[in-house]
């Protein structure tokens, strides 16, 4: 790269050119204004039909995962629910995918696309399960792989969960670039993409989101086969929004018009994800409000010019749960259902307990993912790490949970209650961010129509909301 300015400002200024070279996709062709773009054309220009995606995933041990009914947990919920209440709880066991999480669905299409277009290797920036998924899929497609990962705080201390995921990436043959927390993650990603000429397997490309659509269509088909009806609610752990967007699109593709799409995040209010001090004071590396709220209220804060994950476009409800509630439900899943799975995937199971308690007995609520556990990903490792960082861990009322200070684990299932976010407040925050990007007085009718679709409201609602900004 001799002769090129490799400063932070220069590299980030070349972002669109780097992305075009690393995916063969020109985002500028989809953009219609600073706040709007042709979303469906972006998704369609991947060039894959749904049947193509199913076939591609089946080649690399992805998809077709089992759906289990959690009968014991359902009965436990019914004992504390009102008369006639206590919906049937099902879980889609995505730990059965190669690499042990639903992220294999996202990685599968990117790896296939990279191999098809003749790229020598593939790169992703992630500290989560996605890195292992990309590495696993790259190995099966004969591609080199580099994972750029935030691991350490300024003391050189890494979270056990992230270290375990780093180990998994290397086990699949990937090179891992380990960074300390801070703004350099996407800079290093862009620089590495430019230096290597590898394919960008970003979490937020249309290839990744299209890959998750099969999760939604599988849930629809399996619930119909088992229950003779569509799922009444599907609960989805929400961080960057790709899980929710892809699953919801798949449900829509399958014709599940009446299914309620419920997002769920761990409430880490008060902790800042880019803060060196707070980095190791959280016991969840994903599925929390540090990602969930910012990405819902402005998706285009990522390493690609336009994010294909648009969570507010598909979200009907947004539940928050505490860390202690998730750890408690993780134990219940193991002790009552014989499934030991990672806490991140059990975030949505925690919300499902609350929902099932409010729903009728003949209704069906589906938790659409699990993730593998073990080593640093196990909840006991996470709790030990929390104690080492001065966080109080005790039993009691989870309402007393204080992110970064106290993890309060419920003493009974009745204390697992979660709480609902104000959706219109989130939508208003989205519009405020849109107004910062482009003054509302300049919005065209097409801009307003895009924004209305992006917040799942009509044009009249957007116009009225803008007046109140």
Q: Are residues 163 and 270 in the same domain?
A: no
Among 206, 240, 255, identify where a domain stops: 206
Among 179, 206, 233, identify where a domain stops: 206
Under the banding of pLDDT at 50, 70 and 90, the label for residue 273 is low
Q: Are residues 200 and 246 in the same domain?
A: no
Q: Are residues 108 and 183 in the same domain?
A: yes
Residue length, the chain?
469
Q: Considering the domain boundaries, does residue 425 fall inside one?
A: no
Under the banding of pLDDT at 50, 70 and 90, the label for residue 26 is confident
Q: Are residues 347 and 224 in the same domain?
A: yes
Q: Considering the domain boundaries, does residue 448 fall inside one?
A: yes
**pLDDT value at residue 252:** 98
Least confident of 85-89, 274-278, 319-323: 274-278
Domain count, the chain: 3
Q: Are residues 226 and 181 in the same domain?
A: no
Q: Let me know: does 319 contact 263? Beta carbons within 8 Å.
A: yes
Q: Considering the domain boundaries, does residue 26 fall inside one?
A: yes
- Residue 313 Cα to chain centre, angstroms: 15
How crowded is the C-beta side of 205, counted as CA atoms within 13 Å?
A: 29
Q: Considering the domain boundaries, does residue 428 fall inside one?
A: no
Q: At residue 106, does pLDDT exceed 70?
A: yes
Q: Are residues 229 and 107 in the same domain?
A: no
**pLDDT value at residue 144:** 98
Q: Are residues 201 and 95 in the same domain?
A: no
Long-range contacts of 43-48 (CB under 8 A, 24+ apart): 43/206, 43/209, 43/210, 43/308, 45/206, 46/109, 46/113, 46/206, 46/207, 46/210, 48/109, 48/210
Domain CATH code at residue 265? 3.40.50.1100
Q: Are residues 120 and 85 in the same domain?
A: no
Question: Residue 257 burial by CB count (10 A; 0-12/13-18/19+): exposed, middle or buried?
Answer: exposed
Q: Are residues 298 and 404 in the same domain?
A: yes
Q: Considering the domain boundaries, does residue 25 fall inside one?
A: yes
Tens digits of per-residue pLDDT, 207-257?
A: 999 999 999 999 999 999 999 999 999 999 999 999 999 999 999 999 999
- Interval 163-186 mean pLDDT: 90
Domain of 50, in residue numbers: 8-54+101-206
**pLDDT value at residue 468:** 86
Strands (DSSP E) found in 410-469? 419-420
Rounded to two decimals, the pTM is 0.95
The residues that bridge with 90 in the sheet, in sequence order, are: 69, 366
Among 206, 238, 253, identify where a domain stops: 206
Q: At residue 460, does pLDDT exceed 80?
A: yes
Q: Are residues 15 and 151 in the same domain?
A: yes
Q: Considering the domain boundaries, does residue 426 fall inside one?
A: no
Q: Considering the domain boundaries, does residue 2 fall inside one?
A: no
Q: Let me know: does 89 contact 69? Beta carbons within 8 Å.
A: yes
Q: Above pLDDT 90, what percent of the chain?
A: 79
Q: Are residues 271 and 334 in the same domain?
A: yes
What is the chain's mean pLDDT, rounded? 94
Q: Are residues 21 and 75 in the same domain?
A: no
Q: Considering the domain boundaries, does residue 151 fall inside one?
A: yes
Tens digits of per-residue pLDDT, 372-426?
A: 998 888 888 989 999 999 999 999 999 999 999 999 999 999 999 989 999 999 9
């Amino acid at each position: 790269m001799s002769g090129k300015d490799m400063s932070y400002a220069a590299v980030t200024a070349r972002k669109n050119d780097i992305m075009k070279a690393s995916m063969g996709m020109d985002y500028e062709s989809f953009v219609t204004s600073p706040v709007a773009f042709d979303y469906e054309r972006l998704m369609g220009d991947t060039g894959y039909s749904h049947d193509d995606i199913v076939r591609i995933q089946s080649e690399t041990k992805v998809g077709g995962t089992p759906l289990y009914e959690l009968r014991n947990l359902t009965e436990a919920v019914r004992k504390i629910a009102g008369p006639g209440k206590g919906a049937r709880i099902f879980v889609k066991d995505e730990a059965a995918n190669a690499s042990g999480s639903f992220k294999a669905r996202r990685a599968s299409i990117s790896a296939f696309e990279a191999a098809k277009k003749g790229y020598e290797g593939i790169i992703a920036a992630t500290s989560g399960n996605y890195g292992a998924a990309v590495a696993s899929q790259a190995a099966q497609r004969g591609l080199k792989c580099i994972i750029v990962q935030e691991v350490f705080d300024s003391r050189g201390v890494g979270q056990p969960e992230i270290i375990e995921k780093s180990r998994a990436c290397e086990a699949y043959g990937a090179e891992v670039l380990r960074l300390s927390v801070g703004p350099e993650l996407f800079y290093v990603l862009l620089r590495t993409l430019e230096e290597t000429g590898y394919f960008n397997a970003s979490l937020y490309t249309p290839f990744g989101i299209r890959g998750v659509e099969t999760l939604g269509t599988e849930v629809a088909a399996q619930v119909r086969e088992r229950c003779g009806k569509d799922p009444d609610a599907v609960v989805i752990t929400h961080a960057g929004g790709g899980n929710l967007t892809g699953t919801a699109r798949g449900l829509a593709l399958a014709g599940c018009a009446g299914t309620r799409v419920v997002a769920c995040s761990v409430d880490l209010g008060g902790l800042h994800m880019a803060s060196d001090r707070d980095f190791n004071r959280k016991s969840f590396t994903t599925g929390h409000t540090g990602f969930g709220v910012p990405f819902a209220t402005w998706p285009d804060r990522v390493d690609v010019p336009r994010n294909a994950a648009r969570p507010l476009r598909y979200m009907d409800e947004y539940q928050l749960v505490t860390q202690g509630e998730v750890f408690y439900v993780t134990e219940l899943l193991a002790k009552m259902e014989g499934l030991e799975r990672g806490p991140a995937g059990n975030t949505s199971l925690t919300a499902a307990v609350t929902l099932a308690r409010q729903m009728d007995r003949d209704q069906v609520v589906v938790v659409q993912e699990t993730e593998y556990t073990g080593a640093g990903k196990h909840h006991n490792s996470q709790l030990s790490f929390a104690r080492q960082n001065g966080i109080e861990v005790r039993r009691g009322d989870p309402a007393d949970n204080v992110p970064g200070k106290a993890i309060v684990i419920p003493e009974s299932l009745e204390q697992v209650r979660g709480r609902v976010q104000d959706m219109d407040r989130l939508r208003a925050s989205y519009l405020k961010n849109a107004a910062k990007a482009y003054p509302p007085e300049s919005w065209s009718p097409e801009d307003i129509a895009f924004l209305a679709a992006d917040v799942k409201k009509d044009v009249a609602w957007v116009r009225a909301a803008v007046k109140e900004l």
